Amino acid sequence: NAGVTQTPKFRVLKTGQSMTLLCAQDMNHEYMYWYRQDPGMGLRLIHYSVGEGTTAKGEVPDGYNVSRLKKQNFLLGLESAAPSQTSVYFCASTTARGRGGTGELFFGEGSRLTVL
Amino acid sequence: AQTVTQSQPEMSVQEAETVTLSCTYDTSESDYYLFWYKQPPSRQMILVIRQEAYKQQNATENRFSVNFQKAAKSFSLKISDSQLGDAAMYFCAYRFPTGANSKLTFGKGITLSVRP
């Protein structure tokens, strides 16, 4: 069972470079999320999507863009990476209560991004 | 906006003893989910226990139980018979069940160490 898969797992960037993190889920979930985790800050929501073709800003959206062209995929882009974006990024997904969801989010394994 | 507060950044417990991790939250909603997630050094996010706000009975999962006080907006996690494998970071989280506001909000986490 693949669940939620994030690629890449590790990446080192130079300031100003761009990159895309891919999140793929095989559970037919409607809701998908991107979080970043920094020491002492917990997990903070960057962007999320409540369905294919929809996206919304979370708590810390600046410097990131997202797209959800297919239901199973949620892409997080950094157009011009900055050292402040050095973090561990988590993707997660879930389904609605009305579709049998139990409320919990299912997480990927995380992607460690370092911006030099 | 919903907020989740974990005021203790670190706790320590002797193996086989009981420890309680505290969490408070703020919401104006009556229907929501509360969770405790565990993050071991592997950084994988693991669901420990889930509570639905409309259920008065406190959730229990083996050695893990919660004390859910809805009026006080308190959601503490009790770990009984602590084991070395319980050492991890623990996050309390809140989620509104459906729709565009259905995102998981985390506390900043607490690092639990277990003394042999």
- Using one digit for the tens of pLDDT, what is the confidence trace for A40-89? 888 999 999 999 999 999 999 999 999 999 999 999 999 999 999 999 99
Which residue of A42, A88, A96 is in closest CB contact with B43?
A88
Q: How many CB atoms lie within 10 A of CB A59?
A: 14
Q: Is A103 on the interface with B (CB under 8 A)?
A: yes
- pLDDT tens figures, B9-64: 999 999 999 999 999 999 988 889 999 999 999 999 999 999 999 888 999 999 99
Contact B105, B94 (CB under 8 A): yes
Examine the pLDDT at A97 and tell me if it is beyond 80. Answer: no
Q: Is A110 on the interface with B (CB under 8 A)?
A: yes
What sign has the CA pseudo-torsion B10, A113, A95, B103? positive
Query: From CA B21, how far away is CA A61, in angstroms rounded?
Result: 30
Q: How many CB atoms lie within 10 A of CB A77?
A: 14
Q: CB neighbours of B98 closer than 8 A, spacing ≥ 6?
A: A96, A97, A98
Query: From CA A114, how far away is CA A2, in angstroms rounded?
Result: 26
